[in-house]
Amino acid sequence: MISIEPVAAPGAPLARRNPVAKLAAALLFSFILVATLDPVAPAIAIAVELALLPLFGVRYRVLARRAWPLLVSAAGILVTLVLFAAERSGRVLLEAGPVVVTSGVLLTALGLVLRTFAVALPGVIVFATTDATDLADALIQNAKAPARFAIGALAAFRLVPLLGQEWQAISMARRARGVDAGRNPIAKLRLFVSTAFVLLVGAIRRGTRLAVAMDARGFDAGTPRTVARRQRFTTADALLVAGAVALAAAALTASILLGTYRPLLG
Amino acid sequence: MGTLSGVILRGFGWRHAGRKRWAVRSVDLRIESGERVLLLGPSGAGKSTLLAALAGLLPEDSGEQEGTVEIDGLDPRKGRERVGIVFQDPESQLVMARCGDDVAFGLENRGVPAEEIWPRVDDALRRVGFPYHRDRPTAALSGGEQQRLALAGALALRPGLLLLDEPTANLDPAGATLVRSAVAGALDADTTLILVEHRVAEALPLVDRVVVLEAGGGVRADGSPEAVFRDHGDALAADGVWVPGRTVPPRRATTAPGDLLLTADRLGLPPRLAPTDLAVRAGEALAVLGPNGAGKSTLALLLGGLLPPGGGTLTASAPLAGRDARTPPHRWRAPALAARIGSVFQDPEHQFVTGTVFDELALGPRRTGRPEPEVRAVVDDLLARLRLGALAGANPYTLSGGEARRLSVATALATAPRLLICDEPTFGQDRRTWLELVDLFADLRDAGHGIVTVTHDAEFVAALADRQLTLARPAPAPGTPDGDRP
């Protein structure tokens, strides 16, 4: 089952902020950090992100569970760079047969891992603390996103967990018909592709039915929409966005002052 | 609710773009405000197309129209706020994640002032007897509850005309009763209702007029339920309509059961199915009954060798499995499984793998290594027996509900398994297909096959089953939603 539910404590002061403000804050924070290749700025950013986590009402344990794909990719980056990086500058730290680990390689790898975390964590935090309906509402009301897009995506999103059940049902039906791949990898791939095709056909059919049902209830019929759930963009929300920019800029400034700053471009 | 002066169709017809056949044609009909109409007709007579036209859901560029259709003198495409519609499939008509938001969705679209929305949402939920708070997640509802919510979503818009397109066809009997009582309780005296429903006896308390469409076009019968069924009952029954008061003679086994085929000993899969004992023999039909959430579908998958058991054992006998009798069915290779145990799924479309009806039937025999001339013979025989001959070249996904069901049963039979496991095979079927299924299963049983049917259909059990097993619902873990499979 794919989890799409928010996990934050509902009353946390920053989790309660307008979803568009949270999204903007996360995007700006990440964008500013992308500008540097050094490990210092991302390290400061991660410290800030983790320090603010309680204000978003997310427990560290929950974050670790949500962010495990990040941990996996970090480990992947580390191993790949340490083993295969072409540039082997710096002091040799370890030499075991063909594997030569130098301080330069280790530093580059560390920088990349930290950047991955610093840039991705804000997004993880936003989606862990934001209800999808609230986000769609705020996108329409505060960011002037077209309702056709925001509500349509929301309705489609609701059908995502069903895909897992469908996949299982289709796979079992094929086995019942005498179709299996055994140990043959090519047969396995063909079975995967054809199962995915049936899943896709089913998803399109269901999506079409949903679109007709939405049409029948007057969706996108040209009448100006009203809103049942009001989303407000307040001073506190503006402060959240400003705060995110200020903190990211501070991390960047620190890295420039410490002389570790390496611009992404140029 | 808003009142309506009436619905008028004059020589109405519709042909979907790219189709040769008219979906509906030459319909002349006048329905006055406040009338409650049951719309009947053989499958393919265009009932759903007619409802879509009345709901204004047939865009002008999506097909070709004949004649006129008017609601209050307006083209339905321009008078959409007068009409509400509820469809068959609950999953694909709920839009929002929370129940209250879903009812509010239509009100927002129609531009209802914000301060009026929530009172109207609460009123609509109360009318349909919705038992939960409006913050309840829509995913946590049973099928019957989802359909009541969809009904509330339509009623909140205060339509003068309410269209119900087989709203209970995907529901178990308890869920269907919930939806019908919600319809009965929620309608104002001046709301016009047009209902499409296979199960006539259950629908009759809701209506005062019956209109029967002819398969080739036009209206065959129109009048009070008594008059229509008195004058046209036999012909309607022959066309597959469930005319009330017609019983089916049961077909019991004529010989004693033969070899033991499959034995389940404390077979279970927590939390979906509690430990269950059963034995199936050749030449008998066993019906598995029980409420929603009792794990009937799970049991069917376990018996079909499609799921590994979570507890207990499933043992195939030597007459069923030969040398493989020592391994449990879920470990068999798929071709061996298909040749011994056939499974018919609740949703036929999940079962289809190929692009034509012919290939679909040939797949199993080919996978089990039968020579091509033999495959042809098996397929031709099945095409004839299940009235699919004219459709041999058709794509399985384009079949009607009854055709798809017959094909899904035929595909399971193509490998000639000794044991057949069926999950709700009669679901949503018209009377004609239903009778064919009873006869087909009875013939198979009398020819020495074992048949296990998971079903809610009491009439089917009465007509076919030699034995019954009723599952109880396992104690639910707190916070888990009801099983959403009927």
| DSSP one-letter code for B481 | P
Q: Do B306 and A175 touch (CB under 8 A)?
A: yes
Contact B408, B382 (CB under 8 A): no
B406's CB contacts (< 8 A; 6+ apart) are B386, B387, B388, B433, B436
So what's the pLDDT on residue B1? 47
A positions 124-153 inside 8 Å of B (CB): 131-133, 151
Position A96 pLDDT exceeds 90: no
Fold of the domain spanning B260-354+401-470:
Rossmann fold (3.40.50)
Q: Cβ contacts (< 8 Å) between A168 and chain B: which residues?
A: none
DSSP symbol at B485: -
pLDDT in the model for residue B63 = 92
Residue B8's pLDDT band, with cuts at 50, 70 and 90, is: very high
**Mean pLDDT over residues A199-207, rounded?**
88
Interface of A with B in 57-96 (CB under 8 A): none
Predicted local confidence at residue B242, as pLDDT: 85
Cβ distance of B335 and A180 shorter than 8 Å: yes
pTM of the entire predicted model: 0.84
- pLDDT reported for residue B481: 45
Assess whether pLDDT exceeds 60 at residue B141. Answer: yes
Q: Tokens representing B307? A: 């799921």
Question: Does the beta-carbon distance from B95 to A226 stay under 8 Å?
Answer: no
If you average pLDDT over residues B337-342, what whole number do you get? Answer: 94
A180 vs B91, B333, B364: nearest CB: B333
A201 touches chain B (CB under 8 A): yes
Tell me which residue in A169, A198, A213 faces B87 most closely, judged by beta carbons.
A213
Looking at residue B261, its pLDDT comes to 95
Q: Do A210 and B109 touch (CB under 8 A)?
A: no
CB contact under 8 A, B105 and A217: yes
How do residues B80-95 score in pLDDT, each as one tens digit?
888 999 998 888 899 9
The two tokens of residue B151 are: 């009904």
Which of A54-63, A90-99, A134-143, B180-189 is the most confident on average? A134-143
Nearest CA distance, B205 vs chain A (angstrom): 27
pLDDT tens string B259-297: 999 999 999 998 889 999 999 999 999 999 988 778 899
B294 neighbors B471 (Cβ within 8 angstroms): yes
Chain B contact for A232, CB < 8 A?
A: no
* Spans of all domains in chain B: 6-238, 260-354+401-470
Average pLDDT of the segment spanning B107-116: 94
pLDDT category of residue A34 using cuts at 50, 70 and 90: confident
Cross-chain residue pair A217–B412, CB shorter than 8 Å: no
Structure tokens belonging to residue B43: 């499958």
User: What chain B residue is nearest to A154 in terms of C-alpha separation?
Assistant: B96
- Strand A99-102 and strand B341-344: the pairing is unpaired
pLDDT of B482 > 70? The answer is no
Q: How far apart are CA B95 and CA A159, in angstroms?
A: 9
Q: Residue B303: is it exposed, middle or buried by C-beta count within 10 angstroms (0-12/13-18/19+)?
A: buried
Nearest to A133 among B96, B350, B412 (CB): B96
**Would you call A173 and B351 a contact, using CB atoms and an 8 Å cutoff?**
yes
pLDDT at B26 over 60: yes
Q: So what's the pLDDT on residue B13?
A: 95
**Which sequence spans correspond to the domains of chain A?**
19-140+233-257, 145-216
Report the complex ipTM.
0.84
Average pLDDT score over residue span A61-87: 83
Instruction: State how far the alpha carbon of B482 is from the alpha carbons of B130, B147, B272, B424, in Å.
Output: 16, 14, 11, 18
DSSP per residue, A202-263: HHHHHHHHHHHHHHHTTTTSSSPPP-SS-----HHHHHHHHHHHHHHHHHHHHHHHTT---B
For residues B146 and B90, the answer to whether their CB atoms sit within 8 Å is yes
Q: Give domain B6-238's CATH superfamily.
A: P-loop containing nucleotide triphosphate hydrolases (3.40.50.300)
Q: Which residue has the higher pLDDT, B480 or A96?
A: A96
Collect all residues of chain A within an 8 Å Cβ-Cβ radius of residue B53: none
**Distance between CA atoms of residues B183 and B154, nearest Å:** 11
pLDDT of residue B195: 96
Whether B6-238 shares its CATH topology with B260-354+401-470 is answered yes
Average pLDDT rounded to a whole number, residues A7-16: 79
pLDDT higher than threshold 70 for residue B4: no
Task: Show residues of chain B in contact with A169, CB under 8 Å.
Answer: 345, 347, 350
| Neighbour tally for A61: CB within 10 Å | 8
pLDDT computed for residue B143 by the predictor: 85
Most confident region among B17-21, B139-143, B340-344 by mean pLDDT: B340-344
Residues B23, B16 contacting (CB under 8 angstroms): yes
What's the pLDDT score for residue A2?
39
Exposure string (b/e) for B117-156, b if CB count within 10 Å is 16 or more?
bbebbbebbebbebeeebebebbebbbbbbbbbbbbbbbb
Region A159-186 average pLDDT? 88
Residue A38 CB neighbour total at 10 angstroms: 20
Task: Compute the mean pLDDT over every residue in chain B, rounded to the nearest whole number.
Answer: 89
- Amino acid type, A114: L
Give the ranges where B169-294 is alpha helix by DSSP (H): 173-186, 200-203, 225-238
Fill in the DSSP letter of residue B94.
Answer: -
What is the rounded average pLDDT of the residues B369-388?
91
Here the tokens at position B301 are 């998958």
